[in-house]
């Protein structure tokens, strides 16, 4: 088995094995509400030049993170500072939709039963007419 080799246009380092790196899939970071509040407080306490930037670098954050967290905090959305669950959100009307679906199925079943009962009654009327039985008498 042979390894693929790098080909350089300038002729340097020919016949070196091709280096490939497999990068693991990045995982989305989730921050708790207490962490967000702590970082916001620490950021607001920072007064010396470069202190705020150092905080952002140390924590691996962007200023846009702080802007969004500050906006949420100021709007009274402390619960909004908690990480949100990703993926499709459950519909608040899901229970109603299930109930409507169940009732539609039941309605269809009852309509079929009613058609069958009407057909049976029509057949009984025709048979009683052929046999001369009066259905109006009690």
CB 135 within 8 A of CB 128: yes
Residue range 99-120, pLDDT digits in tens: 999 999 999 999 999 999 999 9
Which DSSP letter does residue 44 get? H
Residue range 60-91, pLDDT digits in tens: 999 999 998 888 888 877 666 666 777 887 77
Q: How confident is the model at residue 133 (pLDDT cuts 50, 70, 90)?
A: confident
Please state whether the predicted TM-score (pTM) of the whole model is above 0.85: no
Residue 96 has which token pair?
A: 């109603």
H-helix segments, the chain: 33-45, 51-59, 63-74, 94-131
Q: Give the start-to-end residue ranges of the domains of the chain.
A: 33-81, 107-138
Residue 101 has which token pair?
A: 């679906």
Please tell me the predicted confidence (pLDDT) of residue 80.
61
Report the 3 state secondary structure along 48-71.
CCCHHHHHHHHHCCCHHHHHHHHH
pLDDT over 60 at 9, yes or no: no
């Amino acid at each position: 088995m042979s390894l693929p080799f790098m080909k350089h246009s300038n002729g340097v380092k020919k016949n070196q094995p091709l280096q490939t790196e497999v990068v693991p899939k990045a995982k989305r970071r989730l921050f708790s509400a207490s962490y967000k509040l702590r970082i916001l407080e620490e950021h607001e306490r920072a007064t010396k030049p470069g202190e705020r930037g150092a905080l952002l670098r140390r924590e691996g954050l962007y200023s846009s993170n702080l802007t969004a967290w500050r906006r949420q905090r100021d709007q009274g959305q402390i619960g909004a500072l908690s990480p949100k669950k990703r993926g499709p959100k459950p519909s608040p009307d899901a229970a109603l939709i299930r109930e409507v679906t169940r009732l539609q199925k039941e309605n269809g079943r009852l309509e079929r039963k009613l058609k069958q009962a009407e057909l049976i009654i029509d057949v009984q009327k025709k048979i009683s007419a052929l046999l001369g039985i009066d259905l109006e008498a009690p």
